[in-house]
Amino acid sequence: MNRYSELSQMEMSKRGRIEVICGSMFSGKTEELIRRLKRAKFARQKVEIFKPTIDTRYSEEEVVSHDSNHILSTPIETSASILLLATDVDVVGIDEAQFLDADLPAVCNELARRGTRVIVAGLDMDFKTNPFGPMPALMALADEVTKVHAICVRCGNLAYVSHRLVEGEKQVLLGEKTEYEPLCRECYYAALAEREKAEE
């Protein structure tokens, strides 16, 4: 490799970027986030991982996938904390981004401007199919968006949304398989019709 190619490769490696991994619950978002972060660590890159303090389902200090893969993280209250804690790092990972505040896109943009690779995972829609938190803005800003899919538990097609199985209108309700199920578009609207009929 000639000197020009080496310099070009070095310059490219320092270019910041934003990668978003989105989809419904049980689609493998966190699994993919962990895979990318572990690969960066294997390449001896300096990695910092963050998650909202609200997410305590499996662990208070680890990002944990539904398949029990895990990686140590720093719980944060606000996205502004990331700028303070992620100085001099190559890669920043953020899980459950939908629970963070509206400043997260600006924070990710600033990190990318500094030359940091930012990998964000989160739900793109809530249980009512509304865009969730800062995720839509992040997807618009991202260099790369990967939409992953769960399998609909009713028909086996690709899932579209996380259907809530319990009562409640609050947008944020932490839960697992007893509270949510991944459904395709057709089965989701069929489930809504079933619920409306039962309430009559």
Spell out a b/e string for 149-167, using b for 16 or more CB atoms within 10 Å of the CB, else e.
Answer: bbebebeeebbbbbbbeee
| Chain center to CA of 21 | 5
Cα first-last separation, the chain: 72
Nearest CA to 65 out of 23, 105, 107 is that of 23
CA dist 83 and 114 (Å) reads 11
96 annotated active-site: yes
Count of other CB atoms within 10 angstroms of residue 132: 21
Determine contact, residues 132/124, Cβ cutoff 8 Å. Answer: yes
**69 phi and psi, to 5 degrees?**
-75, 145
Catalytic, out of 19, 48, 96, 181 = 96
Give the residue numbers marked as catalytic.
96
